Structure 1
Amino acid sequence: MNIKHFLLGFLLLGSSPAFAQKDITLEDIWAKPTFRQKSIQNLNWTQDGQSYLELKEGKIIKYNILDPSKFETLFDESIHKTSNGGTIRVQQFSISADEQTILIGTASESIYRRSSKETNYIFTRSKNTLQLLSQGGKQMHATLSPDGKRVAFVRDNNLFWTDIQTGKETAVTTNGKFNHIIHGACDWVYEEEFSFAKAFTWSPDSKKIAFYTFDESQVPEYNMQMWGDLYPKDYRYKYPKAGEANSIVSLSVALLDENKIQAVQVGPEKNQYIPRLKWTKNPDVVGFIRLNRLQNHMELLHHSISKATTSLIYEEHAETSIEIEAVGNDITYLNDGKSFIFSSERSGFKHLYVGDIASGKFTPITTGNWEVDDLYGYNEKTKTLYFNSAELSPIGRQVYSIKLDGTNKKTISTLSGTNTASFSPDFSYYILNNSSAKKPLSIGLYSASKGLVRVLEDNQKLQAQITEYQISPREFFEIPLANGDHLNAYWIKPTNFDPNKKYPALMHVYGGPGSQQVLDSYPGGDFYWYQMLLKKGYLIYCVDNRGTGGRGVAFKKITYQNLGRIEVQDQIFAAKFIGNLPYVDASRIGIWGWSYGGFMSSNCLMQGADVFKAAISVAPVTNWRFYDSIYTERYQRTPQENPTGYDENSPVYHVNKLKGNLLLVHGTGDDNVHFQNAVALEDALIKANKQFQTFYYPNRNHGISGGNTRLHLYNMLTNFLEKNL
């Protein structure tokens, strides 16, 4: 790419005219809902595909797809009372196929990222009765059976089910114990890294429950002290760090009518993962994925309940690692009982395949040098799949349909930017979510045959709000690499941008494996903070380094066994590129990031000591030895196998190089990236006699939020930048 032409094109982007408008404040962003995007809460399709359900202002409402004036309120929290005359606040709900039974969750208490416990109620519409699901305490993962007659849930590490008609509660397991045995719910590391918390699933005939058991008795404990009382309280939980013992995981099937439990044969190896569990169309056969500890050998297996046998259906090997998000998420069993759809990165890009259960043979459905992002479903009648991909551009997403044989691929979404979809059970209608860098979220209801039926949400109020302020959108560009490849990037400039001036620049980084920050979608809270910084005279940049997603395996897996090496090199290279732009003050380039981004920003400040003047590192990993087994070993292998990959790319290893200004922030109650990470980096900096600033948030978790916390945090970040950049 010709740099001179690149810069000229950059300058010709122009600026919006400046005129008197409101200034954004941190209170607007973090204390008020000034810029909050509206979405649709708890939207569910009905089984017939002709209506959808929405939770709105405490009401569960059923809307007719074609005529929204035709609606029915199925439940109203202001009307329907509990047995003692109390009211409940509906936070979540699910409904039976016949729409007569509604399971309602309320009084939710968060546990970890994806887990919580609630008080659940059963509302029976025909009787107009609201009954408590269980008298034994709050429940986790309460789930209706497919026939709507039973509810399964987890309490105190045990699995239960309740007969709705009789109210009888039955314990499937009884030996669950905190920090020892868990039935039907995930341990911490599975929940965080395999992206699910409910560890049980109903059979299609509602007569069986397949469930996980985690024996975490040998997993080392991590202790967090919780502050506030006269004596701090210890919170100990099982957290397997890289190279340490994991839970021993087993599978079972509860045969409810027979009051029996059958063990599923998962193999003799104990040091392995079972990241997915899913029933086939046959209620006698449950499928599961088995993954070795190094996560480079994946198997799909089927267990027959009647035969009590397990058989191998499909397997994959990889030189680096197999990410379950790229393989296990899209397994869809077909009604013929002979085939299944799955995704794989085996071609070098994530694509969809159809496999034969009997032979294990497979054929591709999608092909090309682009990535499938998500499979939405398969229409058995028309033999059509619906999926989302980055075919047009890695920084956007479009929705497509394609035949099972790979023919007749069509683009369904017509709007630029990022599109996601949700299809009705019969695929005759779908809801399309669209946003772009310049347009907030819009949600439309579409007919598969006739197009747009109506707009469900267009965020007009937010768009009107935005016009009252000087908002500069993200603008996308590419940074050329010496090898002929490029890095995707965006910048944000003030509305009164003057190319003849020199501006300080703040870079934002995340940079972790498979992630993407440079996306043509409408941004969140940090975007409005950047608008504040623009008014103070900064330029904002963000660059997706090698190792990030949307661009195939070779681009993503180049960081294998060396997390932090190439990514940091790319960010330093990008900073030098930005510093050479005529309107950037190369002596005042800063970088900031959170979590993996905090790992990156602190590393960049040290390894790029002559490039970066300041860095903010929030909740960083500072040595991958401190992080969990599943995530870390997926990309690094174990510390025992790859000690240099762990140590030489850690910011702790580079503290002697520090020249610029560092702000290190962490929450002491971070169950994910432990406060230990900040302590280790601080200790190394002190030993190296390096000055820095640090701040800790008592009892706050990885998100560092709650009450005035975010407002306080961003005030501090702003002050640091004004003083040090």
Structure 2
Amino acid sequence: MKFSKYAHLFLFAGSFFLAQQQKFSIAESVNGLRSNLAVKNISQFSWSDDGKAFYQSTKNAYLVTEVPTLKQDTLVSLYQLNKNISSENKLKMFPRITFINKSKGYFAQNSQYYWIENTGKEWKVKEWMTLDKDAENTQMFSDNQGFVYTIKNNLFLNRNGKVVAITNDENKDIINGQAVHQREFGISNGIFISPDNSKIAFYRMDQTMIPDYPIIDWSVTPAVNKNIKYPMAGTPSHHVTLGVYDVKTNKTTFLNIEGDPEQYLTAITWNPDSKSVFIGVLNRDQNDLKMNQYSASSGEFMKKMFEEKSDKYVEPQQQLLFFPNSTTDFIWQSQRTGFNHLFHYNTEKGLVAQLTKGDWLVTDILGFNEKRKEIFYVSTQESPLERHLYKLDYTNFKTQRLDEGAGMHSGILSKDGTQLYDSYSNATTPRSINLINTNTAKVKNILTSENTLKNYQRPEIKNLTLKADDGTPLYGKIILPTDFDANKKYPVIVYLYNGPHAQLVTDSFPASGNLWYEFMAQKGYIVFTMDGRGSSNRGLKFEQAIFRNVGETEMKDQLQGVAYLKSLPYVDADRLGIHGWSYGGFMTTSFMLKHPDLFKVGVAGGPVIDWTLYEIMYTERYMDSPQDNPEGYKQANLLDKVQNLKGKLLMIHGAQDNVVLWQHSIKFLKAAVDNGVQLDYFVYPGHEHNVQGKDRVHLMQKVTDYFDEYLKK
């Protein structure tokens, strides 16, 4: 058979076209970016102590790369470790190692900690300490001589192998050394070791005044109840104090913190001299924050550093950050100007200067370059849809952007502040990683990831800016069907969250923001998503627009999106669907009941139905208490509105949900029965607030099938 000399070109073009027509499976659309479609990355990146090299892990080794030559070598391999480990303790997979320097580090295997050390010829592995198998919340001393940890509700110290019980509370409802206040206010742990390792500050939370709340484990027969403490809006709250344990004297002193026992203790920070502790004392109404200093030895109040008040709320999220080698000067992050910015304080003089200013916000602090008097941070200065890396000279306030390329940047700064690891993506860049010399601003690329989605049928994605009723710009995206024909009419799925501390729309990869959106586009749907007022990273005015009336302003903004969709000739206004989880589940249910003629189909996951059943800290921040704001709670309550339902509604809940309690949707079902209203319902046994792992594929298949059955037709 004879072929034309151009035949191979047609064959190539045909195969290229077919490759680009590949469609996502439901599993790929849900977990693909964490499995077969994962974008190449550098795993477990960390800088060497001197900033002249960096470490990264591979499947069976750690690599070290010299800077600036980028010469790479194996630092330690799994084979080298196992050569020096007893046969019964052989490692099956490479552990996560924390390196003290290039020659020394440690890792944990179950409850056993090991030191590793390079002797010049090989890596020696030595058993170090064995912690109790029930040890949790483990914190290590900075001198590597011991650990502090919790077992159940008490706190323990293991110093050079000697174990001491710091607390001995027999009442299980008195909790020591754990995160408190439902992990609000940036609280992530309950143990705070002093810089000189001589003292240990810890939270003590008395929950005895809070009723037990049952969470049932249905996987065993008979089912087993596990009680939790869940303080609800308007009810008594727990009482938190802060103890300071002296390692040398084995004595604990509780700080003398005056005020309402239901107040919140936040931003726990040791002074670098280890002699005092700073605490953000926030009243239960969350509108008055006092930053107080207390003596670590006597527990007595020393002075108030500053106070922040608001007619709505004050929400501290970060600890104080002291300048290098200073015991007097620190940075405080505050939204007092309407946007989160950096403020320089001195313990004697008070406020020294506001370091960053503008209608944008700082999202993270990366560290310092002490020699050059520079601080490094991440901000939304270019756009709320992007993050970029900056350095600021804190003597003259000169600012310089360090990164290149639009999109979402994150950074890791070397200890001396001279080298910056910059990882970013945007709509067309899956991932790019650069090393930036912060002194010269020279950039070296060390990874440019391939597009793992290049062979898939991808939809057209349009970025939108709509306007709220007060003129505020609202950022959204519309994702068109992959076989889009402007002369046809398509069903639409609106995906939303629109609550605090979340942002759906950014300039990142993939441009859609979620492969499930693209999966639905391949099935012939238009998908629309938008961040309305109340969502994150737009400043206080934007966030606080929902104060005392959650659900109302958010619906007004989303209605602007719906009006835009209805204006498009290719949108079928009779086939609009809506889907969201958690706050998005609340919004979805609210729309189905408060605008019953708008959406034909809704899928609400883990929805808040009655805000009096939600936890104190979050709810009272945005709604005040039910006693102070009865009308706001009544308007947001969906139990007395179930009779309005006209469209098809699928409600989904995790049977072990300890965030939005299962009782929310159970009460909604009861209200539906009482009112003769039909809806669809599904429960995920064994899952808490979010359905993760392989079961999430099942969840999204169920959501997809529901839209296919009731919206697509």
Task: Using the TM superposition, give the Cα deviation of residue 277 of structure 1 relative to its aligned residue in structure 2, in angstroms.
Answer: 1.2
Task: Using the TM superposition, give the Cα deviation of residue 132 of structure 1 relative to its aligned residue in structure 2, in angstroms.
Answer: 5.9
Partner of 2:702: 716
Partner of 1:374: 364
* Contact 2:611 2:619 (C-alpha < 8 Å) held by counterparts: yes
Q: Is the alpha carbon distance of 1:473 and 1:69 closer, same or farther for their aligned partners in structure 2, counting shifts above 3 Å?
A: farther
Task: Using the TM superposition, give the Cα deviation of residue 663 of structure 1 relative to its aligned residue in structure 2, in angstroms.
Answer: 0.8
Partner of 1:153: 149
Q: Please, which of 213, 217, 238 is the counterpart of residue 222 of structure 1?
A: 213
Q: Does 1:578 align with 2:580?
A: no
Q: Please, which of 233, 236, 251 is the counterpart of residue 242 of structure 2?
A: 251
Q: Please, which of 353, 356, 365 is the counterpart of residue 355 of structure 2?
A: 365
Task: Using the TM superposition, give the Cα deviation of residue 510 of structure 1 relative to its aligned residue in structure 2, in angstroms.
Answer: 0.4
| Mean CA deviation greater in 257-266 or 272-281 | 257-266
- Counterpart code for 2:699: L
Partner of 1:73: 75
* Contact 2:63 2:75 (C-alpha < 8 Å) held by counterparts: yes
Q: Does 1:262 align with 2:253?
A: yes
Aligned ranges for residues 321-470 of structure 1 at < 5 Å? 321-325=313-317, 328-329=318-319, 331-405=321-395, 407-451=397-441, 454-460=444-450, 463=451, 465-470=452-457
Q: Is the alpha carbon distance of 1:691 and 1:18 closer, same or farther for their aligned partners in structure 2, counting shifts above 3 Å?
A: farther
- CA distance in 2 between counterparts of 1:262 and 1:591 reads 54
- The secondary structure found in structure 1 opposite 2:248 is helix
- Counterpart code for 2:500: P
- CA distance in 1 between counterparts of 2:65 and 2:209 reads 51
* Contact 2:422 2:436 (C-alpha < 8 Å) held by counterparts: yes
- CA distance in 1 between counterparts of 2:689 and 2:606 reads 7
Q: Does 1:483 align with 2:470?
A: yes
Partner of 1:319: 311
Q: Please, which of 646, 665, 669 is the counterpart of residue 656 of structure 2?
A: 669
Per-residue CA distance 1:1-49 (angstroms, 9 max, x = gap): xxxxxxxxxxxxxxx9998521111132346622223444333333222
Aligned ranges for residues 76-155 of structure 1 at < 5 Å? 76=78, 78-81=82-85, 84-87=88-91, 89=93, 92-96=96-100, 102-107=105-110, 119-125=111-117, 128-131=124-127, 133-134=129-130, 136-155=132-151
- The secondary structure found in structure 1 opposite 2:195 is coil
| Mean CA deviation greater in 226-235 or 63-72 | 63-72
- The secondary structure found in structure 2 opposite 1:704 is coil
- CA distance in 2 between counterparts of 1:715 and 1:381 reads 56
Task: Using the TM superposition, give the Cα deviation of residue 621 of structure 1 relative to its aligned residue in structure 2, in angstroms.
Answer: 1.1
- CA distance in 2 between counterparts of 1:560 and 1:135 reads 46
* Contact 1:90 1:104 (C-alpha < 8 Å) held by counterparts: no
- Counterpart code for 1:324: P
- Counterpart code for 1:676: Q
Task: Using the TM superposition, give the Cα deviation of residue 95 of structure 1 relative to its aligned residue in structure 2, in angstroms.
Answer: 4.1
Task: Using the TM superposition, give the Cα deviation of residue 615 of structure 1 relative to its aligned residue in structure 2, in angstroms.
Answer: 0.9
Partner of 2:289: 298
Partner of 1:7: none
Q: Does 1:542 align with 2:542?
A: no
How many residues are treated as equivalent by the alignment? Answer: 687
- Counterpart code for 1:711: V
Q: Does 1:181 align with 2:174?
A: yes
- Counterpart code for 1:47: D
- The secondary structure found in structure 2 opposite 1:616 is strand
Q: Please, which of 636, 647, 661 is the counterpart of residue 649 of structure 1?
A: 636
Task: Using the TM superposition, give the Cα deviation of residue 308 of structure 1 relative to its aligned residue in structure 2, in angstroms.
Answer: 4.1
- CA distance in 2 between counterparts of 1:547 and 1:142 reads 36
Q: Is the alpha carbon distance of 1:306 and 1:235 closer, same or farther for their aligned partners in structure 2, counting shifts above 3 Å?
A: closer
Q: What is the aligned-residue identity percentage?
A: 28
Per-residue CA distance 1:113-152 (angstroms, 9 max, x = gap): xxxxxx2413242793432633532322322212222222
* Contact 1:376 1:387 (C-alpha < 8 Å) held by counterparts: yes
* Contact 1:334 1:340 (C-alpha < 8 Å) held by counterparts: no
| Mean CA deviation greater in 418-427 or 649-658 | 649-658
- CA distance in 2 between counterparts of 1:541 and 1:59 reads 44
- CA distance in 2 between counterparts of 1:390 and 1:678 reads 37
- CA distance in 2 between counterparts of 1:54 and 1:296 reads 44
Per-residue CA distance 1:580-632 (angstroms, 9 max, x = gap): 11221111111100111111111112212222111110111111111111111
- CA distance in 1 between counterparts of 2:571 and 2:263 reads 50
- Counterpart code for 1:142: T
Partner of 1:28: 28
- The secondary structure found in structure 2 opposite 1:467 is coil
- Counterpart code for 1:723: E
Per-residue CA distance 1:389-441 (angstroms, 9 max, x = gap): 11211111111111214622111121101111110110110111201133223
- Counterpart code for 1:305: A
* Contact 2:476 2:505 (C-alpha < 8 Å) held by counterparts: yes
Task: Using the TM superposition, give the Cα deviation of residue 333 of structure 1 relative to its aligned residue in structure 2, in angstroms.
Answer: 4.3
Per-residue CA distance 1:475-505 (angstroms, 9 max, x = gap): 3111123432231111111343222221111
Task: Using the TM superposition, give the Cα deviation of residue 701 of structure 1 relative to its aligned residue in structure 2, in angstroms.
Answer: 1.3
- CA distance in 1 between counterparts of 2:326 and 2:221 reads 64
Task: Using the TM superposition, give the Cα deviation of residue 527 of structure 1 relative to its aligned residue in structure 2, in angstroms.
Answer: 1.9
- The secondary structure found in structure 2 opposite 1:466 is coil
Partner of 2:500: 513
Partner of 1:696: 683
Q: Does 1:190 align with 2:196?
A: no
- Counterpart code for 1:53: Y
Per-residue CA distance 1:355-408 (angstroms, 9 max, x = gap): 121132342111111222222223222121211111211111111111214622
Task: Using the TM superposition, give the Cα deviation of residue 82 of structure 1 relative to its aligned residue in structure 2, in angstroms.
Answer: 5.4
Task: Using the TM superposition, give the Cα deviation of residue 705 of structure 1 relative to its aligned residue in structure 2, in angstroms.
Answer: 2.3
Q: Is the alpha carbon distance of 1:616 and 1:56 closer, same or farther for their aligned partners in structure 2, counting shifts above 3 Å?
A: same
Name the Cα RMSD after superposition. 2.5
| Mean CA deviation greater in 411-420 or 140-149 | 140-149
- CA distance in 2 between counterparts of 1:232 and 1:174 reads 31
- CA distance in 2 between counterparts of 1:380 and 1:121 reads 34
Q: Is the alpha carbon distance of 1:169 and 1:308 closer, same or farther for their aligned partners in structure 2, counting shifts above 3 Å?
A: same
* Contact 2:22 2:455 (C-alpha < 8 Å) held by counterparts: yes
- CA distance in 1 between counterparts of 2:196 and 2:226 reads 41
Per-residue CA distance 1:291-315 (angstroms, 9 max, x = gap): 1111111122222235543221121
- CA distance in 2 between counterparts of 1:655 and 1:567 reads 20
Task: Using the TM superposition, give the Cα deviation of residue 330 of structure 1 relative to its aligned residue in structure 2, in angstroms.
Answer: 5.8
| Mean CA deviation greater in 23-32 or 686-695 | 23-32
* Contact 1:29 1:35 (C-alpha < 8 Å) held by counterparts: no
Greater CA radius of gyration, 1 or 2? 2
Partner of 1:114: none
Q: Is the alpha carbon distance of 1:362 and 1:487 closer, same or farther for their aligned partners in structure 2, counting shifts above 3 Å?
A: same
- CA distance in 2 between counterparts of 1:322 and 1:205 reads 32
- CA distance in 2 between counterparts of 1:182 and 1:538 reads 50
- The secondary structure found in structure 2 opposite 1:388 is strand
Q: Please, which of 33, 44, 57 is the counterpart of residue 42 of structure 1?
A: 44
Partner of 1:678: 665
| Mean CA deviation greater in 487-496 or 657-666 | 487-496
- Counterpart code for 2:199: K
* Contact 1:590 1:613 (C-alpha < 8 Å) held by counterparts: yes
Q: Is the alpha carbon distance of 1:243 and 1:94 closer, same or farther for their aligned partners in structure 2, counting shifts above 3 Å?
A: farther
Partner of 1:169: 163
Q: Is the alpha carbon distance of 1:186 and 1:89 closer, same or farther for their aligned partners in structure 2, counting shifts above 3 Å?
A: farther
* Contact 1:120 1:138 (C-alpha < 8 Å) held by counterparts: no
Structure 2 residue ranges without an equivalent (≥5): 1-15
